Chains A and B, each alone.
Chain A
């Protein structure tokens, strides 16, 4: 038995659980092609569509920034929300649970590794946008952009942790739920079009659901700052930053509470392991 402070244990766990994702990236070259290069093709399709429609040039930038953020969204849905379910199938979940570390630390480690993975895709997408499609980004308010980007990621991965804990007791249904989160988000967050168009045309309840996905305001605020144009945002970037900060706190607290409850529920219902 090793005596270690809870803080040291938390950070050692975060680093250790991030390692498979970070080291794994370097060890599977096919991943670079499939996860980084291929998605640029679908982004290109939107660029050509807007160009053929003679849409304002700002829309090209909107699509590129949408593709950058989508890298993180897909990572959250498939490599965060689904992850505890997969860990259970692989027999890893029971080893996490019976160790003295917290599942929260494990999930933060996954998030950290996931952010590194998704960032490589995001950076390549952004570079391709600037180089291939001549997207011009404003650098006047970069500190604010980085702040909004950081808070968006915290809120987004907090949502991922919440979903992960909620998926814990489920079996195959988790796969279907992840699919249900995957596609609609492209519409609800305005990934390829201005969010203000969505908010001005759909009923309030859909706008509310949209606002609960951190990608929506995060993307909208960054577009306003990096691609100043006549296309308005939903709210001012500072207001959207406040909303994102609220979501970050909400999702992190929810994830913490949900993890405690779901772990106990899974222990009672014998759903932490697959083997009897």
Chain B
């Protein structure tokens, strides 16, 4: 098996800036461990996902793999090249697209910007324009190709960035929250394009970080769940969901609840995990329960009725990646984003 990405106990510690007075007094600089012993192997041709809450270390890992940051411990390779010692060889083989990126010069048109970035990879002008036109067509941005970047909306700009990532035909592409800010339709187009690109180029590899569980589920061959800088699970989406197959998951929509009621339900015997969200328009809470077994359900409903809440809907569903995430990390990714 040829590996596209390999990390071996990669760690990264950031030094936080201390106030000058403290620094002068000789106090130890404060540190933050962003990555802690991450070991991963991604074979060529795979679309590999990194899932984790904010601050979990996903972007730090991508920065290390794209040679923007050095690891504090361990070592990492891309296509067999060490990201610290052989940065030039790594850079020849990679590209990256980040969500919310504001890159590109506003005075240049979309097409000119793509041409410019292609030049940094040595792509001849004619070929650069050919690739740019094809990508703009695929991502439904052809009508904006001669528009200055300063005149693009956030979504259009992100689609241009997407084109920038693919125009160099990298062996390994890093997509860091690439669909951030894109509307549903365009996000779908970018996802299907990514999949098609990998089908057409089976020797290429994509490493994707995303907040969207459905995106990870739909796209990724394998997923690593990362929290507090550590990989806590790594497998195919199907196998990850199997972790919960013996534990029934119920979704209850209920009204008339407050924090105390929910805490009481969380403490009910047989409840493994409970995550909640509130729909202000309807005044309802949506509660997701992972139970030890189905026999715990009557007790949960009993507590709900006893606390004055009223049941609106009750349903059982198959485990999703979101459920796996909650089970492993202890909180929902949606809660994390809301925070």
Q: Which residues of A contact B (CB under 8 A)?
A: 1-4, 8-9, 12-13, 15-17, 19-20, 23-24, 27-28, 90-92, 94-101, 106, 264, 267-270, 272-273, 275-276
Contacts and interface: CB of A to CB of B under 8 A. Distances in A.
Interface residues of B, number: 41
15 contacts: A1-B92, A1-B171, A2-B121, A16-B116, A16-B119, A20-B105, A91-B98, A95-B103, A99-B95, A99-B120, A100-B91, A100-B92, A100-B122, A267-B69, A272-B69
B121 A101 contact: yes
Nearest to B97: A95
B117 to A, nearest CB: 7
Given A19-B112, A27-B107, A1 B170 contact: yes
Nearest to A263: B87
Contact of B108 (A19, A97, A275): A19
A20 B68 contact: no
Nearest to B14: A270
A275 B120 contact: no
Nearest to A94: B68
| B66, B88, B117, B119: residue with the most chain A Cβ atoms closer than 10 Å | B119
B120 A100 contact: yes
Contacts of B95: 98-99
A97 B87 CA distance: 10
Contacts, number: 105
Contacts of A17: 116
Given A1-B92, A1-B169, A2-B122, A24 B107 contact: yes
Contacts of B303: none
B70 interface: yes
Given A94-B68, A98-B95, A270-B14, A28 B88 contact: no
Contacts of B68: 94, 97-98, 267, 272-273
Given A20-B107, A99-B95, 16 more contacts: A1-B92, A8-B122, A9-B121, A16-B120, A20-B105, A23-B107, A23-B112, A27-B107, A27-B148, A91-B101, A95-B117, A99-B91, A100-B92, A101-B120, A101-B122, A275-B59
Given A1-B171, A8-B122, A95-B117, A24 B105 contact: yes
Interface in B227-283: none
B59 A90 contact: no
B10 interface: no
B102 interface: yes
B144 interface: no
Contacts of B69: 267, 270, 272
